[in-house]
Structures are given as C-alpha cells and as structure tokens.
C-alpha cells in the first residue's frame, strides 16, 4: 500500500513536459488508436522505444495480439487528434465531450497504411515509427511495451513544431532565440 497521495503524484508528474503521441494498431481487420504521452526512446542499437499502456486498455490487447504497432509523433496543430484518441473532443465553447459510442476514431481522419505494420499513420504527424513488439513488462497498473523500430517516416516540413503536454494543458516549444 502506497503512502503517496494519488492526486499529488499526478500533479507532480504533470510538471514534466512531454511530447504527445497516438499509438495505432491494425489487428483482426480492425484499426484502433490511443493517445499516449508515456513514450520515450530506449536504445539506438537495436533501435528500441518504450510506451506505457494501462492494463485493460483495448490497445493493450490489440497490440499484444498483432505484435506490431505504430507511434505517430503529433505536431502542434494536432490537438484535436490527441483529444479524439484520448476518448473525446472539445466543443467550440471549450467543453469536453466524450467520443460518440460506436463511431470510429478514424472516421474523417486522413491517414495512410504503414508499410510494415499496416497500422494507420496519421497525416501531418512529425514522424511515424512502425514497431515490432519485443516484449511487455509489468509496471503497476500499466504494461511497458518495448518496440523495435522497423520503419520510419518523417514529415518533410522541418519547420513544424511538436505538440507538448504540460500541467494538464497543450503547448508548443518557446523560441530560444
């Protein structure tokens, strides 16, 4: 039993800025995706990344079954995609609404198929990393997915900024000039 207050833990970790990704998978003729900020590079040789997925999440099961997945590194103008794959959307008035039950998250989203994974690759993302699942490690209420990168697609627009998440809000990089 932990003595750490969950609300304080979440608030403290919210002080760590992170990029935003959408994980996608194609399994059993189905496309699925989820927003994830618990993502980082792990190794250059071999090229490995890690991403954490809550146990019981549909994406957890589908990636485990497919043994492949893609990581879409979102650009600053893709907040709506981050919200959509996190399970909702923000109205024009700024209110959060749950994604409609039964409606595909990929409906009206421009994407291509990954050459290696067949997973949806979201257009406009800064980069796409197509991965083969190496292993899953237990990590409390999450699984730590280790992916070996098998294919990389980079956005040709080198001036695009990443989508950043900090203290419960989206942001961009501040210019250092």
Q: What is the pLDDT of residues 87-127, one digit of tens each?
A: 887 777 777 778 878 888 898 999 999 999 999 999 999 99
Q: What is the pLDDT of residues 120-149, one digit of tens each?
A: 999 999 999 999 999 999 999 999 999 999
Place of tokens 């406009």: 124
State both tokens at 70. 């893609």
pTM: 0.91
CA gap 24, 125 in Å, rounded = 13
- Name which of 31, 30, 70 is nearest 49 in CA terms: 70
Torsion-angle region of 171 (φ positive above 0: left; ψ -120 to 50: alpha; else: beta): beta
CA gap 170, 1 in Å, rounded = 33
CATH superfamily of 20-157: Electron Transport, Fmn-binding Protein; Chain A (2.30.110.10)
């Amino acid at each position: 039993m932990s003595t750490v207050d969950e609300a304080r833990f979440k608030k403290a970790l919210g002080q760590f800025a992170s990029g935003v990704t959408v994980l996608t998978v194609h399994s059993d003729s189905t496309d699925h995706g989820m927003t994830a900020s618990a993502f980082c590079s792990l190794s250059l040789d071999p090229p490995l990344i890690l991403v954490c997925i809550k146990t019981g999440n549909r994406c957890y099961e589908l990636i485990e079954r497919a043994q492949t997945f893609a990581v879409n590194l979102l650009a600053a103008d893709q907040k709506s995609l981050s919200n959509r794959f996190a399970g909702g959307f923000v109205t024009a008035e700024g209110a959060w609404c749950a994604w409609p039950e039964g409606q595909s998250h990929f409906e009206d989203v421009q994407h291509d198929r990954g050459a290696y994974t067949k997973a949806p690759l979201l257009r406009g993302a800064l980069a796409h990393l197509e991965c083969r699942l190496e292993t899953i490690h237990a990590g409390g209420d999450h699984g730590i997915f280790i992916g070996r990168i098998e294919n990389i697609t980079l956005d040709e627009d080198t001036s695009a900024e990443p989508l950043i998440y900090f203290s419960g809000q989206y942001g961009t990089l501040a210019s250092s000039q």
